[in-house]
Amino acid sequence: MKLHEALNIDIAEVNREIEHLLTGDKDVPAGSPLATSVLELIASGGKRLRPLMVIVGSRFGRKRTRRRTLQLAAAAEFIHAASLVHDDIIDDAKLRRGSPALHTKTGVLSAVHIGNYMSARVIELLSKLAKNKNRYVHDLSAVATAQLCIGEYQQMEHAYDYDITMEEYLEKSLNKTALLMATCLRVGALSAESTEETAGALYAFGEALGIAFQIQDDLLDFTQSSETLGKPAGSDLRSGQVTLPVIYALQDPRLAAHIRRIGPHSSEADVEAALAAISGSDALARTEETSRRYLDQAADIAKQLSSYSAYADLETLIAYFAGRDR
Amino acid sequence: MNRQLIGDTIRLLQAELSPIAGIQLTLSPGEGEDLLPVMEGFNLEYSRKLHLMGIYIILTQAARYHMECTANHQGLIRSVLDGDYLYSFYLQFAIKYRELDLVVHLAPFIKQQQIRRSNGDYAELNLTAEIGQFLNAESKNTANRKKC
């Protein structure tokens, strides 16, 4: 069963709202290159995790605010998609979800501004929703987006840094991935007028869940085929990202010698050998175990919200994250 | 006085930007000075002028970084990232200093700028005029409220 089905969310309705962010913009002519690019990007897939989290968050509120929640859910996906467009330029990635990355089709300058358009469109929408008492909606486009950038700076600072500490790795993962997920849950809850306490608990839950998600993403880079990933397997190590499996492998002196030799100009054979050595060690099992600990932490936080009927949705999210394809 | 305002604004912004971004704000000669006479037309506190000038500088610099983003640009990664960070910092700064009404006013203008640039139209847009229009509308609203 797909996640949106397990959560009883009408994904077609969510997708329509995401598309409407573009098609409802009278400043963008239908059929224009910008419209086509954004619609292709939206249609290229993705699990809509962030919109689903906004909607789950809203189920902890005291009011039903369906329209506003859907708009916020769509905004969350736009923010995520815009960040992926810029990420692909930063990472020089040629593929996204198995298709050519946007900048390879439009050119870099145009793609940067298409991503900017998506962010600016969200701000335009959120500004209308954000009367003084609703300032939390800007957490999506201000706080969460700034933290995404901080995470990117941290990643850049630690490229090929084989002395990165666990704390530094976790902080980067929090900024790059977990805070947006946490913000989606919190904003969804507040949009439906939850208490601050409940919104805070959902935020903490989202942080733990998001870190587990990032750790599993690190793992997938070792365990999945290029075809399944939609990008070359082992991309993280090639691009100098020292992820959790690498951090654990570095604790074995024999492996560390192999890994530390990998730099921006390493041969493909050296990278492949390091990848194979890491995969053959206990680093992947330890990474899996760490991810599991964060999921357990998320489950403990979720228990604070067990009096809500929507508590079952948090359990569904944990179960889904625990069973991601490997 | 004018130079002092711009200098004070840069210092305020530098103090609030995340150190990890390592962004050094620089203005071209004369940049920002066209906003000064616009602000002089209204009865604004010095601190308000600082915040408006701050928003002007952040948005100008963010747009500039992103205009550098071509495939052969040596500092491409930094330019993408610095532009992204400044656009999100703009919102944080505006929220902190209670300039959300200006954010609402500028939102369509900034969006249209991105649309044009994604389409290869790189003409500079007049941010100063937009801030002037906002102040004008704000001033009229304040006057109307006093009449009521």
Does the structure show a pLDDT above 50 at A59?
yes
State how far the Cα of A63 lies from the Cα of A241, in Å rounded to an integer.
Answer: 43
Nearest of A167, A172, A180 to residue A151 by alpha carbon: A172
Q: What is the pLDDT of residue A136?
A: 80
Q: In percent, how much of chain B has pLDDT > 70?
A: 99
Of B69, B95, B107, the CB nearest to A109: B69
Contacting residues of A for B95, CB less than 8 Å apart: 135, 138, 142
Interface of A with B (CB under 8 A): 27-28, 32-34, 37, 86, 89-90, 106-110, 112-114, 116-117, 119-121, 123-124, 127-128, 130, 132, 135, 138, 141-143, 145-146, 148-150, 152-154, 156-157
CB of B72 within 8 Å of any CB in chain A? no
Bigger pLDDT: A66 vs A53: A53
Of A28, A141, A146, the CB nearest to B115: A28
CB of B21 within 8 Å of any CB in chain A? yes
Give me the helices (H) in A131-195, please.
138, 144-157, 166-173, 179-191
Q: How many CB pairs under 8 A join A and B?
A: 123
Q: What is the 3-state secondary structure (H, E, C) of chain B?
A: CHHHHHHHHHHHHHHHCCHHHCCCCCCCCCCCCCHHHHHHCCCCCHHHHHHHHHHHHHHHHHHHHHHCCCCCCCCHHHHHHHHHHHHHHHHHHHHHCCCHHHHHHHHHHHHHHHHHHHCCCCCCCCHHHHHHHHHHHHHHHHHHHHHC
Mean pLDDT score, A125-147? 78
- The minimum CA-CA distance between A281 and chain B, rounded to whole Å, is 34
Local confidence band at A324 (pLDDT 50, 70, 90 cut-offs) = low
Q: What is the pLDDT of residue A326?
A: 45
Tokens of A148: 């995404």
φ/ψ (deg, to 5) at A95: -120, 145
- Paired with A33 in beta bridges are none
φ/ψ (deg, to 5) at A297: -65, -45
Task: Convert the pLDDT of each residue in A67-115 to its tens digit.
Answer: 889 999 999 999 999 999 999 999 888 888 878 999 999 999 999 999 9
Bigger pLDDT: B141 vs A35: A35
Q: Find out whether A56 and A185 touch, Cβ atoms under 8 Å.
A: yes
Q: Which residue has the tokens 């941290």?
A: A154
Tokens of B46: 């010095």
Chosen for mutation from A34, A41, A127 (greatest number of chain B CBs closer than 10 Å) is A127
Chosen for mutation from A116, A119, A174, A179 (greatest number of chain B CBs closer than 10 Å) is A116
Give the chain A residue whose CA is nearest to the CA of B93. Answer: A142
Could A157 and B21 be called an inter-chain contact, meaning their C-beta atoms sit closer than 8 Å? no
- The minimum CA-CA distance between A285 and chain B, rounded to whole Å, is 33
Could A117 and B119 be called an inter-chain contact, meaning their C-beta atoms sit closer than 8 Å? no
CB of B97 within 8 Å of any CB in chain A? no
Task: Convert the pLDDT of each residue in A230-245 to its tens digit.
Answer: 666 678 888 899 999 9
State how far the Cα of B140 lies from the Cα of B142, in Å rounded to an integer.
Answer: 5
A321 three-class SS: helix
Task: Convert the pLDDT of each residue in B77-132 to its tens digit.
Answer: 999 999 999 999 999 999 999 999 999 999 999 999 999 999 999 988 899 999 99
Task: Convert the pLDDT of each residue in B10-43 to its tens digit.
Answer: 999 999 999 999 999 988 778 888 999 999 989 8
Question: Chain-wide mean pLDDT for chain A?
Answer: 91
- The minimum CA-CA distance between B47 and chain A, rounded to whole Å, is 21
Give the chain B residue whose CA is nearest to the CA of A155. Answer: B20
Of A27, A89, A130, the CB nearest to B115: A27
Could A124 and B70 be called an inter-chain contact, meaning their C-beta atoms sit closer than 8 Å? no
Of A37-46, A134-143, A204-213, minimum mean pLDDT range: A134-143
CB of B16 within 8 Å of any CB in chain A? no
Residue type, A235: S
Q: Find out whether A57 and A317 touch, Cβ atoms under 8 Å.
A: no
Contacting residues of A for B85, CB less than 8 Å apart: 146, 149-150, 153
Task: Convert the pLDDT of each residue in A176-185 to its tens digit.
Answer: 999 999 999 9
Could A123 and B21 be called an inter-chain contact, meaning their C-beta atoms sit closer than 8 Å? no
Could you count the other beta carbons within 10 Å of the beta carbon of residue A300? Answer: 12
Q: What is the pLDDT of residue A70?
A: 94
